[in-house]
Amino acid sequence: MGKDVSNLKEKYRAKLRKGSIGFIFQNFNLIEELNVFENVELPLIYMGVSSRERKRKVLEALDKVQITHRHRHFPMQLSGGQQQRVAVARAVVANPRLILADEPTGNLDSAHGEEVMQLLNQLNNAGSTIIMVTHSQRDDDYARRIIRLFDGKIIHENVSEGFDQKL
């Protein structure tokens, strides 16, 4: 967002993370003691969002990933793909400006994977920047910029036409 954050104190970095960055972890990082609704609601609680607004946003995020019907279930009661969809809902519930995604479709069947990628694409088109790590060639077709790494070194970089290099 045009600000140098490298010298910010931890308090301000934490505030920036919880308000502007969504994380999709490869291993979900859901809290086992919380149900689906509560896992998705957690970032909004940290942000101080009112309970009425939290409920609306959580149900909207769960609906986007088609897991609303499981909102009272706990992570251990869900398949890996369902847990991944909950993790995606949690990452997007606050409509973050930046989403860091580590294999966001890695545990999903092709249909649900496509839905997640379309959701991330919509968020990108609405102004969120998506940084995604993937081994999936299908998923990298959505990217405007692809950086291929091997042993930690850039071996290839491709920028699609029309890509705004300021992102």
Mean pLDDT by 10 residues, the chain (167 residues): 86 86 92 98 95 98 94 96 92 93 89 87 89 90 90 90 45
Strand partners, 98: 21, 129
pLDDT score at 167: 36
CA geometry: angle 147, 120, 38, nearest 5 deg: 125
Residue ranges of E strands in 13-138: 21-24, 98-102, 129-133
pLDDT score at 164: 45
pLDDT score at 161: 61
Integer-rounded Cα Rg, in Å, for the chain is 16
